[in-house]
Structure 1
Amino acid sequence: MTALGFLYPGHSAEDDYPRIEQLLGSDIRVDLVHTDLGEDAYRVDALRGTGSPERLAAGLEELRLAGVEAVVWACAGGSFVLGWDGAHEQVRGIALAAGMPASSTSFAFVHALQEIEVRRVAVAATYPDDIARLFADFLRAGGAEVTGVHSSGTVTAAEAGAWGERELFALARAADSPEAQALLLPDTALHTVAHIPALEKDLGKPVLTANQVTVWECLRLTDRRVNAPELGALFTREPVVQV
């Protein structure tokens, strides 16, 4: 049994995680602990507060007691707003406090792009324009080429969490471009897991979503590779063979 740990801010799309657990198989357990969201606002100051060390540390003891093998901060905005170096420092702090490997959703996107060998990406963001641009800057720092950023202007996680299939597909189609090799949906407050195969079929390319890559990243930290086509192209790759 591989036990995966996640720190999830507030309550928006956390039901994506038991859905992913079901699709992964019986020998993988997903343990999710909710952290204090603080002010629900897609602003830099509020997102920095959401990812503060005090808020993250509060949930780590519960994950340790659950016996998880790695932990991922399941929040994109609460990490990439810190910038590349700041997000690294945040993850180091989580790993030190937890005593186990750690990462965040922001780095999960960077590592997932490396896994599927893609550089040119389009960003379909629920966030306001300024926050969406910070995510694009983070991706560029990680080696990606961002072909375009489309923002819906959503201002809270609660608003994003209330979206359904219609809003999700409209955002994805508006953001996609022929130059992009993959489409990224960076908000863990957005329900996406049930729609990934249909999105990939509709767009004709890999689609990476926040909750999807977050779980994949935790599997990566535990050296697990799982074939789960219902979770999209990211979960159908053959393991990379190190020479």
Structure 2
Amino acid sequence: MNPLEPVKDEENQDESVCCRDDSNGTNNNNNHRRKAVSPAAGEHPLQYNYTFWYSRRTPSRPASTQSYEQNIRQIGTVASVEQFWKFYSHLVRPGDLTGHSDFHLFKEGIKPMWEDEANRSGGKWIIRLRKGLASRFWENIVLAMLGEQFMVGEEICGVVVSIRFQEDILSIWNRTSSDQTTTSRIRDTLRRVLNLPPNTIMEYKTHNDSLRDNSSFRNTKIAL
């Protein structure tokens, strides 16, 4: 069996990872147990543990660092292929989310925030998708990351899918924005694993630029 093929095991599914319990896909229990996660006997361990996060905000309210951190929810951590599929099969698909919502899957210990120590000097590749493609592309990029297909050592921090009203956005974050060899390899691997057409527009943006743009936007809103 290919360890990255879906594994169906409903019997031992922990209800804390089931996110189909409300209209926006969140797990209402944000105070779930924070215990160490490790592969069970006979499972296929991932190279790193990964944590799922979810966030949603009102677009009319400008995001500050504080409000963003309050809105983001940690919904579970996985350490093996089997744990991943057990968890993933109970998540709402990105294409079924509503509003201004995001799913994040990051290495355990890294928050999906520009200011996190692991992200501070990094950036992200951004791909803008027409509506209807988010679920398939999200699954493909997640499996590529878990399967270590990017071949860039510890550079990958995590991936994000952002659901918006007119388009959806896929991004992959890495640690070192100044390493052009690494960022180019990530771009080329993205093209391959997502089977992107040659004319697909991909944008690389450093987290420092994102912080600066966000700060400028907030200042503009205040001035207005």
TM-score band, normalised by the shorter chain? Answer: under 0.3
TM-score for the superposition, normalised by structure 2: 0.27
- Structure showing the higher helix proportion among its residues: 1
The structure that has the greater radius of gyration is: 2
